[in-house]
Amino acid sequence: MFSGALGLAPASQEVEGLANEYLKIRVFSAPAAIAIFGITGWLIAKERTRSVLMLMLLINSINITLDFIFVLKLGWGVEGVAFATLIAEWLGLFYGLWLAREGFNNGYWKNWVQIFDRARLVQMARVNSDILIRSVLLEIGFVSFLFLGSSFDDATLAANQVLVQFLNITAYAMDGFAFAAEALVGQALGAKNRLLFRRSAVMTSQWGFGSVVVMAIAFYVFGSSIINVMTTAEDVRAVSYEYLPWMVLAPLVGAAAWMLDGIFIGATRTADMRNMMFISFCIYLIALAVLLPRYENHGLWASLIIFSIARGVTLGYKYPKLEASVED
């Protein structure tokens, strides 16, 4: 199965072989990874964002520590990276279940009538289907970025993977503010308080935008040093330095999309998220068609940046109507 999927990517045979080894191990962490999504959602709904932070810190700390031991000390290579993530996610699941023990102790999970309530299931299915379509389009965008990047030489492919970690760092930082927006906006909507709704959206967004400015400055000042920690290959470092300016730009242009995602999820306006993601994805495809043939990897990064901008602009266009719909 993995070989067939990897065959679609125009990467070298060596890269495909390493990726296949990685996926054969990582597939066994899929149940834990999926369960962690559910636990994280429950904790956010309970407004226990500190617990979410602790859970993410634990998983990533274990992952980084085991990467150091397995890869740098024991020399396990790609298999070491895969095993580190596998162990980190399963330990994270056990810790997450402990954090969510309240949900098991109160006995709600035994109330089958409430769990299978038809009206609630229909509402959940509607919301989840919108989010699923939106998430699939977003994931296709990032996967296509990786696949198209594999058509370049191995050094460029590796450099793109290094630089994607800058996006992951930004996403982890912004997730906290987006989660806060979800909870606060949801409360304001439930209270039918338009002023509180606006204040919640503005306050969390201000903190989010302030954070991305700090991250952009940090990437500009320390980006080269971060790259040097992530890879020891001189050719990969050289390519990464060339494309580092895109990482300075990415947090600044992506902040609106991250924050508006949290606001719209908190307001359960998932149909708008789905529709605006479809428009943004089409814009991304057009950008790829225009920029990739002419500017190659720079065109690929520019298209991804345009994708982020489009997501923020389209949801921003819908925001006034969302706020106006909140009853006073």
Give me the residue spans of the domains in the chain.
Answer: 1-116, 117-328
d(CA 280, CA 99): 37
Q: What is the pTM of this model?
A: 0.78
pLDDT band at 3; cut points 50, 70, 90: low
CA neighbor of 156 nearest in space, from 12, 13, 286:
12
Task: Output the pLDDT for position 2.
Answer: 47
Report how far residue 152's alpha carbon sits from residue 290's, in angstroms, rounded to the nearest whole number: 18
Q: Which of 31-40, 97-106, 138-147, 247-256 has the highest mean pLDDT?
A: 247-256
Are 28 and 86 in contact by the 8 Å Cβ rule? The answer is yes
The pLDDT assigned to 274 comes to: 93
* Predicted pLDDT at 107: 65
Residue range 164-177: average pLDDT? Answer: 84
Q: Quick: pLDDT tens for 200-258.
A: 999 999 999 999 999 999 999 999 999 998 888 899 999 999 999 999 999 999 999 99
Q: How high is the pLDDT of residue 142? A: 85
pLDDT of residue 306: 97
Digit-coded pLDDT (tens) for 94-109? 999 999 888 777 766 6
Residues 6+ apart with CB under 8 A from 129: none
Give the pLDDT score at 176. 76
Judged against a pLDDT cut of 80, whether residue 115 lies above it is answered with: no
